[in-house]
Structure 1
Amino acid sequence: MNPKVLLQISQAQVNFLGKTTFRNLNFTWESGQHWAIIGNSGQELTAFLETIRDTTHLSQGKISRYFAEDYVAKKTSEGSVHSFRDLISYVSQQYKFRNKSNLQNFYFQQRFNSSEADEAASVKEYILENSPAVPGPWNLENVSKLLRLDHLLDSSILKLSNGETRRLALALGLMRQPLLYLMDQPMTGLDAESREAFGDFLKVIISSGIQVLLTTSSHEIPDGITHIANLSNDGITASLERKNYNLNQVQAYALPWDMNLLGYLLKSPEFDAESVVKLENVSIGYGERKILNSVNWVVKPGERWQLKGKNGSGKSTLISLLIGENPQAYSQNFSLFGRKRGTGESIWDVKRPTGFVAPELVRFFPSNQTVKKVIASGLFDTMGLFKKLNPEQESKVNQWLTLFNLQTFSDLSIHRVPLEKQRWAILARALVKGPELLILDEASQGMDEMQRIIFRDTIQAILEKIPITLIYVSHYQEDIPKAVTKTFELS
């Protein structure tokens, strides 16, 4: 064995989530190489990382983890409990946080309720409580500074934005003092500034001796990466040094849906107000921390807006007002669908005309909620289905399952299906009731490159068919449909 080789996968047939994912996987990782793995399937990219971690099944071939040989021999001689995983940090796309009772029983509204958010640990508490007592160069102070969490250390983890949560997950990985650092699409959810800074983050941890391997899109190869490999179900189809990499253009394609069925399922909303959203000097804060400060914004029926802002600028808080989840709504001067909040309407009156899609929604559904039940829950604006559907409702839900090719996943728990299937299910949940306003908050996050394009073009097709009002949040300009013509930016 070459002493530089850290890990080698040889002629492996890999089974992941009950099916053969790779037929003949070969890969060699040498010391000093820092890899970006790209491909057309997010599930395959995740399976590749899980193979390194030994959470997939090899029906043939083998994987040799040379990086851990000395460590395993030392711990064995000492009689200590050990695993090669002690030397690995892994940041997946489905990180889950727990409350102070060590239960993952948060509900979606809790993050916007000042008192109930205290059920969750602060960022500082969470880092310290979930970091193993392993000697090494990384501590709370330098990890917090590197990942720009120092000003958030006393904040509840439930109050973090999507991008801030991602940075927390990266910080926890460093606190494990890893030799290998594996990351599954780590730039997902980061704003443009944070994505640009991600290369600096990689350079710092690489200079400390950490070996990096991450999955990403072909358009986002961060600084610090030395080698790139293209992955398919046939295995690694190409590998090359970063300096020899040329970006390929996406080939032409057609939407994979029955467009006639899509048109049949979409119903034009009936607007009876001058504005869908009207905010006048809206300010939201928690303690001394001001999240929104005197925000004014009017969204008229049929308009399509992009909502922009850096991580932590208040986008999620603003959206929480629009979907009826923020208890501070009643002290603010704003109207939805022509009706001022706090004039006797129920939360269900607010939710009924609004469809909402966000990647974090999935983790708030109980584990017994199947893909079909999640879609059906959109008819009742609940986080799960808790009543029997009538024949008309049953038919409508089944048609959305058919449209987005989700029939084979219908009876599986939403938590057990691939991320891209989760995203289509959550979109179907938002559309099944025929909303007047559709809010998409990083809605295609976690999808692979081609699926993101399909998602964007699907939304474009919807906007072309019905005059629905849209608010779209994304840190990626290429994810925004061309029908979105207005921009509102939070500073």
Structure 2
Amino acid sequence: MTEPVFALDRATVARPGGAAVLTDFSWTVREGETWAVTGPVGCGKSTLADALLGRIHLRAGDLTWPLLDRLRAAGRDVKYVSDVARHVPFQENSRLFSYAGHYYQQRFEFADADEPLSLGTFLRSGSPAPADEVAAVAARLGLADRLGQPFITLSNGQTRRARIARALLGHPELLVLDDPFLGLDAAGRADVAAFLGRLVGEGLRLVLVCAADAVPGWVSNKLTLGRRDAGTQGQKDIAPASVPQSLSPSVPQSLSPIIELRDVTVRHGGRVLLDDVTWTVRAGERWAVMGPNGSGKTTLLSLLCGDHPQAFSNDVRLFGRRRGTGERIWDVKRPVGLTSPEFHLYFTGPLTAARAAATGFFDGVTDHATTPEQDAMVAGLFADFGLGALAARPFRQLSTGEQKLVLLARALVKRPRLVILDEPFQSFDADTVARCRDWLDANLSPDQTLLFVSHHPPELPRTVTRTLRLDNGRATAE
């Protein structure tokens, strides 16, 4: 049997002030093993990762790192786990860059001279790696042509790859990756998985935290966590998920257009982000918006939500009114409900889960007084999505998946005329995807319009009948 890297013995794992997600939990990772940690939303995957890296303390039990002892015996100057291990969580909130110090629309409004943090600077900040090594790692993760781009403007998938690259440039003895494939299209997922697989073959110690259906073939062992139990562990044995079928109520067509884009072109920094896009969406239609990373999806949605300043220089009409004719941004946002990975990153306020969802009534991120009827609507959605027990928990203490469920409820709570869901099911297990997808099919009213962005066609609600495909800024409607 090989030497252990780390070992948890009869541990109780919980975030400060929260309930224990793991009790009497023991787990040992040994040299030569590559583990994936999977389980449903709220099972404690991210909390376990934080405990391993010392970000939260065990309430009971022991955590030992024999790897540190072996490195010290070999003459390495290591004192803490953080000296040898790196964790790439969902959100970047470091001294270098914090979403709490920025606002969502800033990623579309910045001037290059005002934003000193380029991708290249971000990557070099993690280690004294030479420029050629930075360029090589960036190239292997598909970022070679982005090194001069401001970090704040990277897409969701690009940001994920950038943070993996930065961690690797630090040459960690152990790397813990939290959902490394989130936000990546099929080609991007395959490329990153192949790259990580090569690194594992070269000796990288790696622990993946991910959905069960995202576990790569080169993973040797899997730890499956349940809801507040000690989970099961052993050799990898992955069965295809069974997702129940749902009803597909018909959506009546309406002649009333609510979105009209006419020859829309968006440029920035010499790059064409949208190229002569013409598109009409009518009330009650259900659209999928598809396309690879960097194809223009985020830019398109930012025009519709009132977040991109170039909406004013293009012919963009929402609910029959052209942008730039005297409307306020809140007039644009009032009939729209949105959730997206980027919005999630910027949602950092100190609210409870229920109060976070209630901000959807007011289109901002700060708390407002709500009526009993509004409170009842939040409670109803929380019950439907299995969030009832979390209503009073601080939003920031929830797992990534739980936060995404809360923000999905936020997008739906005011029953908006236009529902924009940008990769809403990221990090969800198959049962949670099915529950939410079926809810959309059954509960969106015929006059509500849906735009659903996803890299995974099986996630699409069954009422989706139209598709807009984007590629290099060009759009094709089907």
Task: Calculate the TM-score normalised by the size of structure 1.
Answer: 0.86
What runs of 5+ residues in structure 2 fail to find an aligned partner? 472-478
Per-residue deviation at 1:6?
1.9
| DSSP 3-state at the match of 1:378 | helix
Which of 444, 447, 459 lines up with 1:467 in the alignment?
A: 447
The match for 1:121 is 117
Q: Residues 59 and 415 from structure 1, CA distance in 2 versus in 1: closer, same or farther, beyond 3 angstroms?
A: closer
* 2:69 matches 1:69: yes
Counterpart of 1:11 in structure 2: which amino acid? R
Counterpart of 1:40 in structure 2: which amino acid? P
* 2:86 matches 1:89: yes
Aligned mates of 1:343, 1:103 — CA distance in 2: 32
Provide the alpha-carbon RMSD of the alignment. Answer: 3.1
Per-residue deviation at 1:421?
2.8
Q: Residues 407 and 247 from structure 1, CA distance in 2 versus in 1: closer, same or farther, beyond 3 angstroms?
A: closer
Counterpart of 1:438 in structure 2: which amino acid? V
Aligned mates of 2:427, 2:132 — CA distance in 1: 28
Q: Residues 199 and 364 from structure 1, CA distance in 2 versus in 1: closer, same or farther, beyond 3 angstroms?
A: closer
Q: Tell me whether 350-359 or 112-121 shows the greater mean CA deviation.
A: 112-121
The match for 1:476 is 456
The match for 2:259 is 277
Per-residue deviation, residues 234-272 of structure 1 (Å, max 9, x unmatched):
4342411x5xx34154376999xxxxxxxxxxxxx9999
Aligned mates of 2:113, 2:364 — CA distance in 1: 20
Aligned mates of 1:329, 1:475 — CA distance in 2: 25
Q: Residues 401 and 481 from structure 1, CA distance in 2 versus in 1: closer, same or farther, beyond 3 angstroms?
A: closer
| DSSP 3-state at the match of 2:218 | coil
The match for 2:212 is 218
Aligned mates of 2:177, 2:148 — CA distance in 1: 26
Q: Describe how 1:230-309 pairs up with structure 2 within 5 A.
A: 230-232=224-226, 233-240=228-235, 242=236, 245-250=237-242, 274-309=256-291
Q: Describe how 1:293-372 pairs up with structure 2 within 5 A.
A: 293-372=275-354
Per-residue deviation at 1:206?
1.9
Q: Describe how 1:370-385 pairs up with structure 2 within 5 A.
A: 370-385=352-367
Aligned mates of 2:357, 2:27 — CA distance in 1: 39
The match for 1:7 is 6
Per-residue deviation at 1:5?
2.6
Per-residue deviation, residues 284-329 of structure 1 (Å, max 9, x unmatched):
1112011111112111111111101111111111000000111110
Task: Calculate the TM-score normalised by the size of structure 2.
Answer: 0.88
Per-residue deviation, residues 187-209 of structure 1 (Å, max 9, x unmatched):
11111101111221112322442
The answer to whether the 8 A contact 2:2-2:32 is kept is: no
Q: Residues 282 and 461 from structure 1, CA distance in 2 versus in 1: closer, same or farther, beyond 3 angstroms?
A: same
Q: Residues 59 and 208 from structure 1, CA distance in 2 versus in 1: closer, same or farther, beyond 3 angstroms?
A: same
The answer to whether the 8 A contact 1:160-1:312 is kept is: no
Counterpart of 2:175 in structure 1: which amino acid? Y
The answer to whether the 8 A contact 2:93-2:99 is kept is: no
Q: Percent identity?
A: 32
Which of 152, 162, 186 lines up with 1:158 in the alignment?
A: 152
The answer to whether the 8 A contact 1:37-1:230 is kept is: yes
Counterpart of 1:489 in structure 2: which amino acid? R
The match for 2:476 is none
Per-residue deviation at 1:283?
0.7
Aligned mates of 1:202, 1:103 — CA distance in 2: 27
The match for 1:263 is none
The answer to whether the 8 A contact 1:279-1:335 is kept is: yes
Aligned mates of 2:46, 2:240 — CA distance in 1: 22
The answer to whether the 8 A contact 1:230-1:236 is kept is: yes
The answer to whether the 8 A contact 2:241-2:430 is kept is: no
The match for 1:262 is none
Per-residue deviation, residues 327-354 of structure 1 (Å, max 9, x unmatched):
1101101211122222222212211111
Counterpart of 2:443 in structure 1: which amino acid? I
| DSSP 3-state at the match of 2:427 | coil
| DSSP 3-state at the match of 1:183 | strand
Aligned mates of 2:199, 2:29 — CA distance in 1: 18
The match for 1:266 is none
Aligned mates of 2:99, 2:194 — CA distance in 1: 35
Which of 209, 213, 235 lines up with 2:203 in the alignment?
A: 209
The answer to whether the 8 A contact 1:7-1:67 is kept is: yes
Per-residue deviation, residues 46-76 of structure 1 (Å, max 9, x unmatched):
2332332234444444333121113345679
Which of 129, 144, 160 lines up with 2:138 in the alignment?
A: 144
Aligned mates of 2:396, 2:291 — CA distance in 1: 29
Q: Residues 345 and 367 from structure 1, CA distance in 2 versus in 1: closer, same or farther, beyond 3 angstroms?
A: closer
Q: Residues 368 and 356 from structure 1, CA distance in 2 versus in 1: closer, same or farther, beyond 3 angstroms?
A: same
Counterpart of 1:485 in structure 2: which amino acid? T
The match for 2:475 is none
| DSSP 3-state at the match of 1:71 | helix
* 2:190 matches 1:196: yes
Aligned mates of 2:298, 2:113 — CA distance in 1: 15
The answer to whether the 8 A contact 1:198-1:222 is kept is: no
Aligned mates of 1:359, 1:368 — CA distance in 2: 19
What runs of 5+ residues in structure 1 fail to find an aligned partner? 256-268
Q: Residues 12 and 383 from structure 1, CA distance in 2 versus in 1: closer, same or farther, beyond 3 angstroms?
A: closer
Counterpart of 2:313 in structure 1: which amino acid? S
Q: Residues 213 and 398 from structure 1, CA distance in 2 versus in 1: closer, same or farther, beyond 3 angstroms?
A: closer
| DSSP 3-state at the match of 2:464 | coil
The match for 2:474 is none
| DSSP 3-state at the match of 2:462 | coil
The match for 1:110 is 106
Aligned mates of 2:131, 2:107 — CA distance in 1: 33
The match for 1:488 is 468
Aligned mates of 1:12, 1:368 — CA distance in 2: 29
The match for 2:181 is 187
The match for 1:425 is 406
